[in-house]
Amino acid sequence: MTARRLGYDGIVVAAPVTVPYARYSIRSAHWFCGRALAGLIREAGVDKAEIDGFCISSFTLDPDSAVGLMQHLGVSPRWLDHIPMGGASGAVALRRAARAVQAGDAEIVALIGADTNHVDSFRRTVATFSQFANDAVYPYGAGGPNASFAFLTDHYMKEFGARREDFGRLCIAQRDNALPVPHAMMKRPLTMGQYLDARPIALPLRLFDCVMPCAGAEACLVTTGDRARSLGLPCAPVLATIERHNAFPDDPIQYRGGWAVDAGELYDQAGLGPGDIDLVQAYDDYPVICFMQIEDLGFCAKGEAPAFVRERDLRTGGDFPFNTSGGQLSAGQAGAGGGFIGLVETLRQLTGRTHGHPVEGARHGLVSCFGMINYDRGLCTSAAILGRSDR
């Protein structure tokens, strides 16, 4: 029997920070983490020493871990965690930090997801990503996530009747959302014709189905509501979180994720249902995983996401605001920062600090995260619901 988890009363997220993205950079991941920390200090108006906890996620810190990074940053925290879960790291870091603050192990925790992107760094990251990938796909010449997601996309299309135009609707809406966002890498509108006719990458995937790796960072602070108010910080209360790893290992081809196991608990803890969510930020390295999240989080039944997106407007001003900063498909994938982009954007929307178009009247935002794709499936899922503070 699973014990009922405590809620997150009094715990908030504040101080959204994005270190502007760059396609390539000669800077190190340590530099981007440092810029993120500097941004948090400016946003919160605190001394560096007052940030006494850190959750770090990065693929390119090697040979350092979060421990070595602390020396580079010149800090001495009393609580530290390294979250090596890629795209799932944002909501997982939020969970860890919230519990640390609740327990009194830290008062202000910085969540930082950051990576550099040298000309060769993506290849080197892929080459050492997992032993499963080393054994199962690299000997056949299939390196990186494109082949894996082509496999998952092809299966989803055959199983549920999705068309490329359905994925295109999502990509085009996210591009529209990204256009006013200063740090978004994609700055031109995308048409359905351009989407459908783009060069093939790993069929059925074409160019605009795939994220563009870049350098950058996303960050925010977790603390108590009282501390945030004492600093004059707009903040969003944490209403619920979940995480799950290696869900449904017996599925021969992944068509669902851990959200399908835990979504009920997520909504129960928040005291809400899918109909109460005003905006959704989903991990979006490829459109098919967005469809899985829309289904597994209860917005429609399994296999109904294609019809769902045909019937709804996913733009910021639409009836189902989705990835309102453009997500990774139009803003770019700043390495492990991609696991935090949805959390930071949701915080911006709920505290009136948006970089793009606001979702008018939004009170509840859902962040969904996905990471660590091996040769045939992603292993980590997480999610969180944030609210708008009335105080």
Q: How far apart are CA 222 and CA 109, in angstroms?
A: 5
pLDDT at 54: 98
Helices within the chain (DSSP H only): 29-44, 66-73, 89-103, 121-127, 131-136, 145-160, 164-178, 192-197, 225-230, 259-270, 287-296, 305-310, 327-331, 341-351
Q: Is residue 302 part of a domain?
A: yes
| Cβ atoms of 278 and 242 closer than 8 Å | no
Reference 32, options 109, 112, 108; nearest CA is 112
Q: Strand 364-373 to strand 279-282: parallel, antiparallel, or no bridges (unpaired)?
A: parallel
| DSSP string over 110-133 | EEEEEE---TTHHHHHHHTS-HHH
Report the 10 Å Cβ neighbour count for 71. 11
Q: How far apart are CA 360 and CA 377, in angstroms?
A: 36
Q: Is residue 55 part of a domain?
A: yes
| Cβ atoms of 358 and 316 closer than 8 Å | yes
pLDDT at 142: 65
Give the range of the structural domain holding residue 199, as residue numbers without chain letter. Answer: 1-386
Place of tokens 């498909």: 329
pLDDT at 1: 55
Residue 241 in 3-state DSSP? strand
Here the CATH number for the domain that contains residue 66 is: 3.40.47.10
Q: Flag whether the pTM goes above 0.85.
A: yes
Pull the structure tokens for residue 329. 């498909």
Reference 341, options 357, 326, 356; nearest CA is 326
Reference 87, options 275, 338, 364, 379; nearest CA is 338
| Cβ atoms of 319 and 196 closer than 8 Å | no
Q: Is residue 303 part of a domain?
A: yes
| Cβ atoms of 29 and 83 closer than 8 Å | no
Show the low-confidence residues of the chain (pLDDT under 70): 1-3, 120-143, 390-391
CB crowding 78-90: b at 16 or more within 10 Å, else e: ebbbbbbbbbbbb
Residue 334 in 3-state DSSP? coil
Q: Is residue 391 part of a domain?
A: no
Give CA angle at 250 (144, 137), nearest 5°. Answer: 25
Reference 380, options 388, 390, 372; nearest CA is 372
For the chain, the domain total comes to 1
